[in-house]
């Protein structure tokens, strides 16, 4: 009987830990669009990163962490211009988890991508993909969607 009770206690503790790690969201995203001119807009993604966590930059070394990326879903109303850029530059330091120098953000990050409007109204949909770590663990890569209509 004691073994059964001990088994259920261990199962309960393990299950609680798994549920807690699945609900962690140390990065909150907001999105905006700024009109550059009649034919071009900038899609901007702002990240707020919880204390003790870091999110990796858009360009990381091979075999490093999963990079942050702003993905635009193609359609006939717009065309991406250039590449995604980091409007706030990441810190580049040695990371014990990956045993290499990597770019990462703490507290906040802003990335953006310019878009050429081909016809109005334009629907711009996409998502950011990113990975976060703290000193103890890393969460699996995650995605957050966005959508705008440019009239």
pTM of the model: 0.83
Domain that holds residue 133: 25-150
Domain membership of residue 13 (yes or no) is: no
pLDDT tens column, 96-147: 889 999 999 999 999 999 999 999 999 999 999 999 999 999 999 999 999 9
Task: Please count the structural domains in the chain.
Answer: 1
CATH no. for residue 108?
A: 2.60.40.1250
Least confident of 17-21, 53-57, 74-78, 92-96: 17-21
Contact (Cβ atoms closer than 8 angstroms) between residue 147 and residue 34: no
Domain membership of residue 1 (yes or no) is: no
pLDDT at 96: 85
Least confident of 2-6, 42-46, 110-114: 2-6
């Amino acid at each position: 009987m004691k073994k059964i009770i001990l088994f259920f206690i261990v199962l309960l503790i393990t299950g609680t830990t798994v549920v807690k790690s699945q609900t962690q969201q140390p990065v909150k995203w907001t999105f905006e669009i700024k009109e550059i001119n009649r034919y071009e807009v900038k899609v901007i993604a702002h990240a707020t990163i919880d204390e003790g966590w870091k999110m990796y930059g858009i360009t990381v070394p091979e075999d490093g962490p999963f990079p942050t990326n702003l993905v635009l879903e193609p359609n006939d109303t717009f065309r991406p211009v250039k590449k995604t850029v980091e409007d706030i530059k990441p810190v580049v330091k040695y990371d014990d988890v990956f045993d290499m120098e990597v770019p990462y953000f703490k507290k906040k990050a802003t990335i953006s991508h310019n878009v050429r409007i081909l016809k109005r109204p334009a629907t711009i949909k996409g998502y950011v993909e990113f990975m976060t770590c703290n000193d103890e663990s890393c969460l699996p890569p995650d995605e957050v969607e966005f959508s705008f209509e440019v009239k």
